[in-house]
Amino acid sequence: MHAQPTTTVDLRRLVHDYFELTKPRVTLLAAFCALIGMLLASDNWVPWRVLVFGLAGISLLAGSGFTFNCLVERSIDARMARTRARASARGEVSIAGSLVFAGVLGGLGAWMLYAFVNPLTMWLTLATFVGYAVIYTVVLKPATPQNIVIGGASGAMPPVLGWAAVANEVSAPALVLFLIIFVWTPPHFWALALYRVEDYKLSGLPMLPVTHGSQFTRLNILLYTFLLLATTLLPFLIGMSGLLYLVSALILGGVFLGYAWRLWRHYTDALSRRTFGYSIFYLAALFGALLVDHYFRF
């Protein structure tokens, strides 16, 4: 067998490094939440052009924001075990290259949304980009332990963007979807921060477990999980969903509360990991139940 030319190997590595800057798994999650918003805003099927270009535009702008985040936090990422393998942290991609890449992704995404979806979705998505890449990354994250709470507004926007892409408006159901993710974000992220606390101490970021300790953080996780359970009842209360969703929300929320209660009373890193893992499953299952209920109302 012949060895691949060095230039080919280098090109593949470079493409991989730039692709990883977009945090593809998180971008995929944002696209999934946007898709949920699209489907819930439609009584039948989403027009193919809105579906394809809407998801593509939202994903490209999300990837642009994540690229900018990696660029700004490259020195912080280099100090953390969880992130030091990123190409930006290793210095494998240049600052200029990252800026150009983020600009191209963002510009292409904005153009797709404006040309093939609607201007409202483009402006909302651009506002989300500014909220995440500038307000959260540059201003809030290094300044306050409540960074993830306030900055969570950007992470809660994808279903609103998907809703706006189909309905060309932002109505009460879209805001309920936003509120669910907004309240879900702190217990989800703080469960991660608890078992990664040594990493965050090295980073210099004022994360809640670092500034206020484990017990205070665990209490906040428990309180936010109670609030989350109450928030997830809103779709049923406003007539957005039926009994299938209500039962699902109560069961899924009850399990989440069980994790949060045990985490507060008897902390272990293993339990914190399981709580973090369940929080991801929880959100997907909750939105899945909402979607099934929407199309097959019980």
| Contact between residue 210 and residue 144 where contact means Cβ atoms under 8 Å apart | no
**Predicted confidence band at 211 (pLDDT cuts at 50, 70, 90)?**
very high
pLDDT value of residue 190: 95
Token code pair at residue 294: 């929407």
pLDDT value of residue 4: 52
- Give residue 212's identity as a one-letter amino acid code: H
Token code pair at residue 168: 């060309």
Look up the pTM and report it.
Answer: 0.90
3-state secondary structure 156-206: CCHHHHHHHHHHCCCCHHHHHHHHHHHHHHHHHHHHHHHHCHHHHHHHCCC
CA torsion through residues 258, 261, 264, 267, sign: negative
CATH 1.10.357.140 is held by the domain 9-170: yes
Q: Map tokens 């907004």 to a residue.
A: 182
Q: What is the total residue count of the chain?
A: 298
Is a pLDDT exceeding 80 seen at residue 101?
A: yes
| Contact between residue 137 and residue 73 where contact means Cβ atoms under 8 Å apart | yes
pLDDT tens for 124-180 read 999 999 988 888 888 877 878 888 888 788 889 999 999 999 999 999 999 999 999
pLDDT value of residue 1: 45
Is a pLDDT exceeding 50 seen at residue 66?
A: yes
Determine what percent of the chain is predicted with pLDDT higher than 90.
65
Is a pLDDT exceeding 80 seen at residue 55?
A: yes
